[in-house]
Amino acid sequence: MSSADRLEPAALQGRIDHLEAQAREAQRTIDELNARDSLKTQFLSNISHDLRTPLAAIITHAEILREGMLGELTPRQRDSVAGIVSGGQQLLDMIDEILTYVRSASDQVTLVRTEFHITEVVDQVRILNQALAAKKHLTIERLNGDDLPPVYADRDKVKHVLGNLIGNAIKFTPDGGRIWIGFSRRGRDGEELVVEVGDNGRGIARDHYELVFREFAQVDASPSRPHHGTGLGLAIARKLVELHAGRIWLESELGKGSRFFFTLPLNPKLDQ
Amino acid sequence: MKTRILIVEDSPLVTDAFSVLFTEAGYDVDVAATVAQAVERGGERPVDVMLLDLTLPDGDGLEIMEALRKRACLPRATLAMTGHCDAASRRSCIEAGCADVLIKPIPIRELLRQIERHLA
């Protein structure tokens, strides 16, 4: 350091005071942003809860009509009422997705870990999505996994992650496409399970790999986008995987398809 | 005599929908919007089935179970209803004497089936 760079003690103290003031200001800004973020989360929670109740009433009334409890409907009337039920159900699923996000964002989600075979959960989710996939003539197949030891995880949360990944694949794979679920093991003793959900759909550009896991983010956010939703499915999947101390990522090629991967701990006690 | 059902729920939109459903399904329907009302209705005459919302304006729905148990007039079956249920809340409901916990909204066929099953 040259003599010209050397600061007098008073000037040095002045510089330190200035930096400390800046640090305090930055902390105030962080606290304020955190407080606003909590308010936003609370607002989302309240509004979602309040939307759920009237929607539940609409669906129940429509179901009563659809079931002919208030008199037989003509086929066209029945189709129309069935549309109210399915539209309402779709809206409800979106609200539930927001509530799940809010709970995970505000650390209200706790894991209830048990040992279970992941293939059972995958097969359940496949069956649940069969009707939706059939509409687009998509196949959903499980490639392997019969010989895997149990995982030690929260069954409902893992089901949620798989549901979101498979739902996403159905949404972005064109008619006649293929969706698959496969497993591999890694780690020194194979103690970690890698689950893959792949599709031969439209794919995701490398620039958007991070974006798709971000809350409320959609690669095509325009009002005319062909696929609507909360933009929370993959963000929730990421949070739920991370709660298990796992990792989630994707590999993709535009026009060829996407492969989403996540890791879960296997139960070492039972892997004999 | 008709099977008596008590709907404990603070949203009139939901109680209206359930009233239509259960009346058409042949039940004798009564509604309560608060813990106090539910304890009063439940104590007046025997209830066969109580559909119980857990969050009420004047308290927790499970307080009704405790109050009715003290008066020895617990319904034959109580089904708790909630928008979200984790393992701990489910356990408290079952420990309080609920026969089951249903996640709202419950498809009506499923709801009617559950009620019949618990009354059998």
Identify all chain B residues contacting A103, using CB atoms and an 8 Å cutoff: 84
Please say whether the beta carbons of B115 and B77 come within 8 A.
Answer: yes
Closest Cβ opposite residue B17 in set A57, A99, A110: A57
Task: State the nearest Cα–Cα gap between A125 and chain B, in angstroms.
Answer: 19
Please say whether the beta carbons of A185 and A192 come within 8 A.
Answer: yes
ipTM of the complex: 0.87
Cβ-based contacts under 8 A for chains A and B: 50
- Which of B53, B60, B99 lies closest to B78, judged by CA? B99
Q: Which two tokens stand for residue B96?
A: 């309080």
At position A247, the amino acid (one-letter code) is R
Task: State the nearest Cα–Cα gap between B70 and chain A, in angstroms.
Answer: 31
Cα distance between residue A222 and residue A231, in whole Å: 12
B25 to chain A, any CB pair closer than 8 A? The answer is: yes
Q: What is the structure's pLDDT at A227?
A: 54
Q: Which two tokens stand for residue A103?
A: 């709970």
Cβ contact (<8 Å) for A49 and B107?
A: no
Residue A199 phi/psi, 5-degree rounding, is -150, 160
Cα distance between residue A68 and residue A71, in whole Å: 5
Cβ contact (<8 Å) for A53 and B11?
A: yes
Identify all chain B residues contacting A69, using CB atoms and an 8 Å cutoff: 20-21, 24-25
Cβ contact (<8 Å) for B105 and A112?
A: no
Q: What is the structure's pLDDT at A93?
A: 85
Q: Which long-range contacts (CB under 8 A, 24 or more apart) does A126-135 make?
A: A126/A166, A126/A181, A128/A163, A129/A163, A129/A166, A129/A167, A129/A170, A132/A167, A132/A170, A133/A170, A133/A179
Residue B33: count other Cβ atoms within 10 Å of its Cβ: 18
Q: Is the pTM of this model over 0.80?
A: no
Cβ contact (<8 Å) for B20 and A55?
A: no
- N-terminal to C-terminal alpha carbon distance within chain A: 64
Residue A138 phi/psi, 5-degree rounding, is -100, 150
Q: What is the structure's pLDDT at A1?
A: 53
pLDDT in tens, chain B (120 residues): 899 999 999 999 999 999 999 999 999 999 999 999 999 999 998 999 999 999 899 999 999 999 999 999 999 999 999 877 677 788 889 999 999 999 888 899 999 999 999 998
Q: What is the structure's pLDDT at A8?
A: 86
* Confidence label for A216 from pLDDT (cuts 50, 70 and 90): low
DSSP secondary structure string, chain B? Answer: -PPEEEEE-S-HHHHHHHHHHHHHTT-EEEEESSHHHHHHHHHHS--SEEEEESEETTEETHHHHHHHHHTT---SEEEEEES---HHHHHHHHHHT-SEEEESSPPHHHHHHHHHHHH-
Q: What is the structure's pLDDT at A229?
A: 64
- Which of B62, B59, B67 lies closest to B96, judged by CA? B62
Cβ contact (<8 Å) for B18 and A60?
A: yes
pLDDT at A9 over 50: yes
Task: State the nearest Cα–Cα gap between A86 and chain B, in angstroms.
Answer: 12
At position A46, the amino acid (one-letter code) is N
Closest Cβ opposite residue A54 in set B13, B107, B109: B13
Cβ contact (<8 Å) for B20 and A70?
A: yes
A47 to chain B, any CB pair closer than 8 A? The answer is: no
